[in-house]
Amino acid sequence: MKIKIKVNNPIISSEMKIRMRSWRSPIALLVYIFILVIFLLIFASMALSTMRYGYSSADYSEVGLVIFYTLSIVQFFIIVLVAPASTAGAISSEREKQTLDLLLCTQMSPAKIVIGKLVSSLLWILLMFVASIPLYSIAFLFGGVNPMAVVTVMLYYFLVSLTAGSIGLFYSTVFKRTVTSSIMAYLTIFLIFILSLVIGYAELFFLSQRGVYPDFAKAFYFNPFIAFLGAMSIALQGSTGSNIFAVTSYQLYTLVIVNVIFLFVLSSFSLLTSMKRINPLKGSKR
């Protein structure tokens, strides 16, 4: 029996059909899983060897945590790299093919075009999430990990991919060439990660010179990776070695909440600006 899902956005259905009919999609998914498996084998074997030869008093639950953290962190950075690349050419490629004006002449609103381009890219990333879930079952075999931790990781993946994809889409409406859009998207994301770290450590350094030693720098609240680690620590509370930060639960919750709000505001601003820029009545198509 064939099941049909009706999508009320022709861009989503069209781009997903084109993407999934291509031989590149299953190959890319296979390479993605292969990379995760390689990292999993390396770090899991290191953890098992350390425990087997008595270099550590860790039990098997610690190995489960190592596997969980390895999969989650590697996947996080792959998503940060893939999401902006998948949307940076969404509008600029239409300009390069000289089809943007035709797209704007249809009955679809600028908002529908932007959302369609973003969702079609996020659905591909969602497929990557789903494909990686069976690998997390290995962590459950060793213990130390609960289902809520996997759910938390997946939700944060979605938020980060939404933000990174929105940034890529924004630059796709600003620049005519896809290469320029991609470079600017990666540069912006790189600055968000690096500047928050640099400013945070500078804050801790200058405060320490005055004899003040805070547990956490305020700039770290805006770093998606640090907040991602904090979210995992919250989800794994009660597991040995789960809290990788020497801070209280209140500080961890504050870190995650502030970062979620920051990412939501950033993605909303990028999307709304993108809609305005491709609107021929309000924005500039150039």
pLDDT in tens, 26-84: 888 898 899 989 988 888 888 777 766 655 545 677 788 888 888 999 999 999 999 99
How many angstroms separate the most distant Cα atoms in the chain? Answer: 71
- Output phi, psi for 119, to 5 deg: -65, -40
* Position 149 pLDDT exceeds 70: yes
52 vs 284, higher pLDDT: 52
CA distances from 254 to 163, 192, 248 (A): 20, 19, 10
User: If you ran DSSP here, which 8-state letter would residue 239 be given?
Assistant: S
Helix boundaries (H) for the chain: 10-21, 24-52, 60-87, 92-96, 100-104, 110-142, 147-174, 178-209, 224-235, 249-278
Residue ranges covered by each domain of the chain: 10-278
* Position 242 pLDDT exceeds 80: no
